[in-house]
Structure 1
Amino acid sequence: MTKIIGLTGGIGSGKSTIAAYIAAQGIPVYIADDEARKIMELPEIIHKVQEIFEVNVIENGKLNRKKIADLVFSAPNLLKKLNEIIHPAVDENFSIWLKNNEKHRYIVKEVAILFESGGYKKCDKIILVTAPEVVRIERVMGRDGVIKEQVLDRMKNQWKDEDKAVLSDYIVVNTDLTAAKKDVDKILKELNKI
């Protein structure tokens, strides 16, 4: 049976870079955020999401993701409602994807909130990507054009790295990409034995 390797890390940790590196090694990688974005374009999902907000979050027939992010990151109850719509749809999508990749010994499932959502319980092994908080804040500010307070708001909705590390099988410190890739290579060699 195909093993599920969870790949996660806090915002700005560089988990997407690590996921891309793993995919370049020929390993199937499921990017939950990318799939969630596609799912959020489905008419029935757009309708369900709009229902949880008092303000209009639809623009040109599509959900305004930035507006939604701004609303939910400061309102945990809205984030919970949004996740209750999106997560089951992503789970269903992943099940189909997994079936299409069952010839592989293992696959990697990259999920930003793997622990927060409880999804880690369905993984055979977990890789945690970390970086110092100051580095993560700088990365997100540069990438998303947001201020420090907005990054810290998003971080509040995620577990701390120390808490994630306790439940992880492998940890990749992603401050130097060359060193991080070497660590990933070692992990992949180990995973080939499972």
Structure 2
Amino acid sequence: MIKVGLTGGIGAGKTTISKMFKELGVPVYIADDAGKELMNTSAEIRKKIIDLLGEESYNKDLPNRAFIASKVFNDKELLEKLNAIIHPAVAQHFKEWFKRQTYPYIIYEAAILFEKGSQKNFDYTVLVSAPKEIRIKRLLKREDSLKREDIESRMDNQWDDATKRRIADFEIINEEIEDSKKQVVQLNDIILKSAKIS
């Protein structure tokens, strides 16, 4: 079974593109969602995060996401330590999920893929991109009402598209929905053909 890693910067629309693949029948594993779920349910992760960031990290056994974000997004060292707690747990969770899949290929969606050197774990990688201003506009519309400075700070913590483009096997430029759908259908055909050959 082919493994496809899908990534993109904040606001690029990874989840929108993942949903399009899902609609075509492709199993999609969303690493960020799995990480959130494990933060909610794993007592071991909860203890490690409280040890790292303090008691305020959790309210009644649920993560205080605003507090955690405020601590880590301007502190790369702390962010790396937080990722070192969550990422191994997500990797194990993914392995178990992957064993249950039967489709010719799966998509693993993650915000940080190339930054961790994880592309080596996948047969193909896909970069979802969009111009910076479009990404900022999308994020400003989100319910969590981020400020522009917060968005730009988060973008600065991620590699830029030019760097990711040099590593990615494919790119979906996600500006217009209908155009994005066409790109997804084309890429789905390419990967399915590749799965048959292999």
Q: Which bracket does the TM-score occupy, shorter chain normalised? A: over 0.9
CA separation in 2, counterparts of 1:160 and 1:152? 12
Counterpart in the other structure of 2:147: 147
Is 1:37 aligned to residue 54 of structure 2?
no
SS in 2 for 1:129: strand
SS in 2 for 1:181: helix
- Deviation, structure 1 residue 15: 0.8
For these two proteins, the number of residue pairs brought into alignment is 192
SS in 1 for 2:114: coil
Structure 1 gaps, min length 5: none
CA separation in 2, counterparts of 1:71 and 1:136? 23
Counterpart in the other structure of 1:106: 105
Contact 2:56-2:64 at 8 Å conserved across structures: no
Residues 125-162 of structure 1: CA deviation (Å, up to 9, x unaligned): 01111000011111112113011100011111111000
Residues 15-52 of structure 1: CA deviation (Å, up to 9, x unaligned): 10000110111110001011111110111111111111
CA separation in 1, counterparts of 2:137 and 2:70? 19
SS in 2 for 1:11: coil
SS in 2 for 1:193: helix
CA separation in 1, counterparts of 2:139 and 2:115? 20
Aligned identity (percent) is 40
CA separation in 2, counterparts of 1:170 and 1:3? 15
CA separation in 1, counterparts of 2:97 and 2:80? 25
CA separation in 2, counterparts of 1:170 and 1:181? 15
TM-score, normalization: structure 1?
A: 0.96
- Deviation, structure 1 residue 81: 0.5
TM-score, normalization: structure 2?
A: 0.94
Equivalent residue letter for 1:155: M
Name whichever structure is richer in helix by fraction.
2
Residues 85-132 of structure 1: CA deviation (Å, up to 9, x unaligned): 00000000000011111x222100001111112221211101111000
- Deviation, structure 1 residue 55: 5.8
Equivalent residue letter for 2:4: I
Structure 2 gaps, min length 5: none
Displacement over 6 Å in runs of 4+: none
